[in-house]
Amino acid sequence: MSERDHRVSRRQFLTYTLTGVGGFMAAGMLMPMARFALDPALKAGAETDMKYVCDVADLTEVPQKFQFTFEQVDVWYESEVTNEAYIYIRDDQVMALSPKCTHLGCTVAYGTNEEHPERFFCPCHFGMFDENGINIPGTPPQRPLDVYDVVVEDGKVYVGQINQRT
Ligand code: FES
C-alpha cells in the first residue's frame, strides 16, 4: 500500500473528530439521567426490611394490637408509614396477623364481639376469624387474615413482609 492510500481527507478527519466528541458529550449527559431514572428502582431490600415492633416480654397468648412506624421508599418518594399487627404467642411461636379484613379491607378487632370473645370480628359485614386468623365459614371473608414474617432476636420482635394465606 502506498502512503497515499492511508491519507485521511479533511472531511473524514472532521467527521471522525465531531462524531467522537459528540458521542463523548452525549454519554456525559445521558449517564447521569439514566442513573437518576434507574437507581432508586434498582435499590434492593428497602421493602423487605424487618421492623421492630415490641419485646417478647410484652406478648401473651391473647392477641394484642401493636403499631409500628417505618420509612417507606416508593421509588422516588419517601414517607413515614404506620402499620398495625395483632401479635401473640401460639404454640411457643410468635404470630403476627394483619388486622385488615380479607373481605373488603375493614379493620378487624379481637375480642370485641360479646358472643364470640375469642375471635377477630369485623364490624363492616360481621366477618369473623378464629384466634389463628382463620376465616369462619358462613361469614363474608373467604380466606384467613394475612400474616407477617416474624423474626425474634435478643428478645425483640421484628415483622417484615405481609403474606397471604389460602
Ligand atoms: S370488610 Fe370485613 S366482613 Fe366485609
142 lines ligand 1 (CB under 6 A): no
Q: How many of the other CB atoms lie within 10 Å of CB of 159?
A: 24
Full pLDDT tens readout for the chain, 166 residues? 555 667 788 888 888 899 999 889 998 888 888 777 776 555 544 445 899 999 999 999 999 999 999 888 877 888 998 999 999 999 999 999 999 999 999 999 999 999 999 999 999 999 999 999 999 999 999 999 999 999 999 999 999 999 999 7
CB 166 within 8 A of CB 143: yes
Atom of ligand 1 nearest to the CA of 139: 3
User: Grid coordinates 500500500 are at which residue?
Assistant: 1
Any ligand 1 atom below 6 A from CB of 140: yes
Nine-digit cell at 114?
A: 360479646
Cβ neighbours of 87 (radius 10 Å): 24
Does the model's pTM come out above 0.85? no
Bridge partners (DSSP) listed for residue 87: 64, 96
In three-state secondary structure terms, 55 is: strand
Sorted by sequence, the CB contacts under 8 Å of residue 32 that are 6+ apart come out as: none
Q: Report the residue among 103, 113, 128 best suited for mutation to probe ligand 1: largest number of ligand atoms under 8 A from its CB.
A: 103
Q: Is the CB of 104 under 6 A from ligand 1?
A: yes
